[in-house]
Structure 1
Amino acid sequence: MSKTYHFIGIKGSGMSALALMLHQMGHKVQGSDVEKYYFTQRGLEQAGIPILPFDEKNITEDVELIAGNAFREDNNVEIAYAIKNGYKFKRYHEFLGHFMNQFTSFGVAGAHGKTSTTGLLSHAMKNITDTSYLIGDGTGRGSANAQYFVFEADEYERHFMPYHPAYSIITNIDFDHPDYFTSIDDVFSAFDDYAKQVQKGLFVYGEDSNLRKITSNAPIYYYGFEENDDFMATEIVRTTTGSNFNVKHDGQIIGEFHVPAYGRHNILNATAVIANLYVAGFDMALVAEHLKTFSGVKRRFTEKIISDTVIIDDFAHHPTEIIATLDAARQKYPSKEIVAIFQPHTFTRTIALLD
């Protein structure tokens, strides 16, 4: 049954992806936000989804309200009007937690690499079978007939706690979001709570000491580069066109793979995807075929060439992510001088991670 949804803060990366997904599933979608241009609005405009100014007149009885997590009664007229007049609304993560129950869901969590890994997983799955997905770069696809749903699970303010996925990848645990988390132990506690909600299989990076301590009611599979990992990337060859490697499980090679992506971290991301799809019963030959055609996600190692200069735009704002981006750049452009320009992302994060 078709519904009408109004998104309060529709230009947010998660919100825009969800709006696109619901629109493609046949629902009527509109939203409101500030006038400032955001990279997400191009996709919304191309889909014909109205983007309105914030106004209490947007709140009516015939729409289901979905609110961005940053908007509150004291800073948004629509939220204030909805609360004053008794209109119910769900936060983004609350709606998503309920929405995904109609699918076999695949979550991707972690301090770093969520968006790239979600993009890679959804790319492989959508080319094998009908799959809906929601990626943190503002990209979403919805199909009313899909059996599977791939989504990005954000740990900030424990927003992933409404999620109970069938499968989930956790790429790593690191101290981030210092405006919310007090310590690495606090971060670990959040991920450990999330892991307990995974139902069929949890896939975690085996060389992460915190992830080795994670607990879950579902089977836990470790992936990485070591012999004691359940899924091990081996025979790795990194070139200027991408990365080639095999994946070994239970002493046997389950496939030979190529990803047109760069850096050690992207081999790990791909190994996580391969492990998850192997356990979920997907054909490894088909997985290998479609990993080859992955073109990346928005704002992650996005390249623009001007004369003989290559400009790489990446959302890396944490020291771990910056190191990974530089590693990827050196792989693809081994003969070029690399100059890094860093744009700080929030004062609290920059100060906390400066050392």
Structure 2
Amino acid sequence: MEKKTYYFVGIKGTGMAALARLLKDLGNEVLGSDIEKETFTQQPLADAGIPVLSFDPANLKEGMIVVQGNVFSDDHEEIVRAKEMGLKIQSYPETVEQVVANHTSIGVAGAHGKTSTTGLLAHVLSNVEQTSYLIGDGVGVGVADARFFVFEADEYRDHFLAYHPDYAIMTNVDFDHPDYFKDLADVKDSFETYGRQVKKGLFAWGEDKSLRDLNVDVPVYYYGTAPDDDFRAANIVRTPDGSTYDAYYKDQKLGTFTIHLYGEHSVLNSLAVVAVAYMEKIKAELANFSGVKRRFAEEDIADMKVIDDYAHHPSEIKATIDAARQKFPQKELVVVFQPHTYSRLAAYLTEFGQSLSRADKVFVTPIFGSIREQNGSVSAKDLEDLIPGSEDIDQASITKLLAYHDAVVVFMGAGDIEKYEDDYKARLKERG
């Protein structure tokens, strides 16, 4: 790609920060603006030498390409100024597509599991070939003359329809983002449209009916544990150390793989990576992968296991609790959950209650309202009423968690739940 100057409006967003770092690695000049609030993406941007400024139309200079964050409308003061100056303005997906077009690209889509799968695929390919990658946890790496580009293809507001990758992984189709999609059929239609834009092949989870019904123009290879899956995991053994399984392509055994990851979903995600590696004649190296940020990130403090996870949908919560039970079968499991968006909580209230009830104890924080919606008719109390023994919690009452010893506390959510986690960790260290 020709070297350019990119200005990101909303550079602290996880996807935006990752893309900014990738473009910087590729030799471009990169800077951007955002709100003053500290985020977990901010220090990596600083470490990469990427300036993060406050919003100000005066930041814009001639010749810049402006990357408009997904949550910022055309009436944002910097976007208005960019138009007045005649600068090129493009969206996050449009900018990613420019990278897609210059590599053998693999886009990872799915209602759940795409960040973990993208991270694992990037790790495996990077060990054997030059690989650039873009992961939804805020990590973006650009490598000059890379053969592969691995990236998340997010379905929200049909952003992934900007992409035309060589290969696609689809981990599942589920009804999420109820503020945009009408129902499951609407989501499935978007995935199918994206699938028709894939150039070489598609790898899809075989147990998902929506994926089994895909009508696309390239070969579809199904992965899973059923006899009719093209890529199949058999003889699965799950222990507190991880999971081991034999992988087959039709009747051909590809090898025995061990991953130090937890939960049935991790086996499926890694099998998708094995499938891509096989089709591209790459030897998969799964055993060294330890996970991505905010996906079952574990820390030992005092006598407690503290886990941080991005789970914010009932299916993801169920998978995370399953993973915690696998790794810590003898310990009490406490979950601190922050509902993310009123519309999602309202659409899945019953399902949230069912998934969270799998924990031994649940604490629910106030709802995190996104920029897209700040209030609604549903409350955190509505969720607590569906979970036996659950309680509300906030920063002032975080000391409730200090009553637990030799247990596991999992912080789940997609908002700013880190502030609760940080407070708890600080108090836990004081307790010793």
Deviation for aligned residue 1:30: 0.7
In the alignment, the residues of structure 2 paired with residue 313 and residue 319 of structure 1 have an alpha-carbon distance, to the nearest angstrom, of 16
- Cα deviations across residues 307-333 of structure 1 (Å, max 9, x unaligned)? 221111111111100000000000100
CA distance in 2, matches of 1:338, 1:331: 11
Amino acid at match of 2:46: E
**Counterpart pick for 1:294 among 281, 289, 294:** 289
Unaligned segments of structure 1, at least 5 residues: none
Displacement of 1:248: 1.0
Q: Are positions 1:303 and 2:304 aligned together?
A: no
Aligned to 1:282: 282
Q: Paired residue for 2:327?
A: 332
| 1:55-204 alignment runs, 5 A limit | 55-74=56-75, 76-204=76-204
Q: CA deviation at 1:42?
A: 1.4
Tell whether the 8 Å contact from 1:73 to 1:83 is kept in structure 2 after alignment: no
What is the match of residue 219 of structure 1?
Answer: 219
Residues 228-279 of structure 1 show CA distances to partners (whole Å, capped at 9, x for unaligned) of 1000100111111111001111212111101110000000000011011111
TM-score (norm 2): 0.79
What is the number of equivalent residue pairs in this alignment? Answer: 349
Shift of 1:80: 1.7
Aligned to 1:27: 28
Q: Is the 8 A contact 2:64 2:88 kept in 1?
A: no
CA–CA distance in 2 between the matches of 1:128 and 1:215?
Answer: 33
1:264 partnered with 2:288 = no
* Separation (CA, whole Å) in 2 of partners of 1:303 and 1:166: 34
Alpha-carbon separation, structure 1, partners of 2:304 and 2:346: 32
**1:244 alignment partner AA:** T
1:42 alignment partner in structure 2: 43
Q: Distance in 1 between matches of 2:103 and 2:142?
A: 12
Displacement after TM superposition at 1:8 (Å): 0.8
Amino acid at match of 1:292: A
Structure-2 residue corresponding to 1:8? 9
Tell me, in whole angstroms, the C-alpha distance in 2 between the residues paired with 1:340 and 1:225: 30
Q: How much has 1:304 moved relative to structure 2?
A: 2.0
Give runs of ≥4 in structure 1 deviating > 3 Å: none
Letter of the structure 1 residue corresponding to residue 45 of structure 2: L
The alpha-carbon deviation at position 173 of structure 1 amounts to 0.4
CA shift at 1:84, angstroms? 3.4
Give the deviation of 1:25 after TM superposition.
1.0
Asked if structure 1 preserves the Cα contact closer than 8 Å seen for 2:107 and 2:167, the reply is: yes
Distance in 1, matches of 2:146 and 2:248, equals 30
CA distance in 1 between counterparts of 2:244 and 2:138 reads 29
- 2:230 corresponds in structure 1 to 230
Deviation at 1:99, TM superposition (A): 2.5
Partner of 2:337 in structure 1?
342
**Distance in 2, Cα, partners of 1:206 & 1:128:** 28
CA distance in 1, matches of 2:335, 2:225: 28
Q: Which amino acid aligns with 1:221?
A: Y
| SS, match of residue 162 in structure 2 | coil
Residues 72 and 80, structure 1, Cα contact 8 Å, conserved in 2: no
Contact 2:64 2:87 survives alignment (8 Å): no
Contact 2:229 2:250 in 1 (8 A): no
What residue is the counterpart of 2:205 in the other structure? 205
| 1:111 Cα deviation from its structure 2 partner | 0.3
Alpha-carbon RMSD across the aligned residues, in angstroms, is 1.0
* Alpha-carbon distance in structure 2 between the residues aligned to 1:96 and 1:2: 15
TM-score with structure 1 setting the length: 0.96
CA contact (8 A) 1:202 1:216 kept: no
Tell me, in whole angstroms, the C-alpha distance in 2 between the residues paired with 1:93 and 1:162: 6
| Residue in structure 2 matching 1:351, options 346, 351, 362 | 346
Q: Which has the larger radius of gyration?
A: 2
Q: Report the Cα distance in structure 2 between the residues aligned to 1:241 and 1:119, rounded to whole angstroms.
A: 20
Q: Using the alignment, how far apart are the partners of 2:255 and 2:216 within structure 1? A: 28
**Structure 2 alignment gaps of length 5 or more:** 351-432
Letter in 2 for 1:125: L
| Helix, strand or coil at the partner of 2:149 | strand
Distance 1:73 1:168 in 2: 31
- 1:252 matched to 2:242: no
- Deviation, 1:188, is 0.5
